[in-house]
Amino acid sequence: MTISSTDSKTIYAGNDSTASFAIPFMFLRDEDIELVLSTGQGERTQTPGTDYTLTGAGDSTGGLCTLTVPPARDEVLVIRRNPSMVQEVDYVENDAFPAATHEAALDKLTMICQALSERLDRTITFRISSAVTGVSLPDPEPGRSLAWNAAGDDLANMDIASLDGVLLPLAVDQGGTGAQTALQALVNLGFGPTGVALATSLDPAQARAAMDAQPADPATLTAHTPDLLQAVFGDEAQIVTGPALTGLTVTRNHLVWTLTADSTFDAVDFPYDGAYVFHIHPDGHTLLMSAGYTSDGFLPDPDPAAGEIRIAVERFSGRRTIISLQNMGV
């Protein structure tokens, strides 16, 4: 017979159910067929009699392969003819020259050539017009890249950095994370267990659990907010009228005090650290300064004739200091 087809390999995609697959080319013996299951993780050569059975050896139209377990959807089945490269026909001198035996030997040689051709088709080759010869492939070396040598006539293992390149994943000392996953990147960048757990949390509840925290209490968050804003950043001044500040509860950081008699600038309690400004209208009354405040000793005395006596007080760490005193409109 003749070998009119050049096919020596066929490929099928798995579907979790089909177990029988046609072999669309002739093979002389079951041993000439090789089965490989391929996935994204690699290839597994199947064992005849255990993983599959064959029928149709010697049939010019091909045969049938039946697997014990149908290939999965993520698997690819490769069936190829791969005959042993031996010559098994013994020609005895002066014996008959049987045509069938001779043709079978030629058929096997053709099948071997086709198997070799299939392998060569999967190799890297130079263009037909190339004059390059003698190129050799060096043994692999960890962390090095295959590249042309300085003369450009052979391949060599090169250091990535010398080629102005980087290895992925990029190391931390080169500005990368040294990782292929987000979790490993966080670890490599120095995040502790809590930081990793917090950074990888998918919702607020998971984040609180990572920090061993409780949900915020709205009542706690807003309990003193109005008082705080009014005392420190109030946009309206607190109005004070009378001859003394004794017992005054300060609720603003600006206070307007109109004297109704001679008075003393008494020391009062301020709710928070910060600056407080008193706009005092003496209306001709004398204002004495209490010893409850500190100052630099160079402040002017309050003038009863001033239109306004402006005193700025700072509270810090429990101390009350008069930082300025101005007699306005004198």
Render pLDDT for 89-144 as a digit per residue (tens, 0 to 9).
Answer: 777 887 787 888 878 888 888 888 888 888 888 888 889 888 888 898 899 988 78
More confident residue, 188 or 151: 151
More confident residue, 9 or 204: 9
Taking the CA atoms of 37, 41, 42 and 48 in sequence, report the sign of the dihedral they define: negative
Check whether 4 has a pLDDT greater than 80: no
CB 3, CB 104: distance < 8 Å = no
Query: With b meaning 16 or more CB within 10 Å and e meaning fewer, what string describes 96-115?
Result: eeeeeeeebeebbebbbebb
- Give the pLDDT band of residue 309 (cuts 50, 70, 90): very high
CB 25, CB 62: distance < 8 Å = yes
d(CA 18, CA 62): 19
d(CA 65, CA 164): 51
**Of the listed ranges 26-35, 100-109, 207-216, 283-292, the one predicted with least confidence:** 207-216
pLDDT score at 12: 97
More confident residue, 124 or 76: 76
Mean pLDDT of all residues belonging to the chain: 85
What pLDDT digit, counting tens, does each position of 213-269 carry?
Answer: 777 766 655 555 444 444 444 557 889 888 888 888 888 888 999 999 999 998 888
Is beta strand 238-241 parallel, antiparallel or unpaired with respect to 254-258? parallel
pLDDT score at 223: 56
Sheet-wide strand order for 254-258: 238-241, 254-258, 274-281, 308-316, 319-328
Tokens of 12: 């099928």
pLDDT score at 235: 59
Check whether 23 has a pLDDT greater than 70: yes
- Tell me the one-letter amino acid at 306: A
Check whether 50 has a pLDDT greater than 90: yes
CB 156, CB 163: distance < 8 Å = no
Closest CA to 278 of 261, 269, 265: 265
pLDDT score at 251: 86
d(CA 114, CA 241): 111
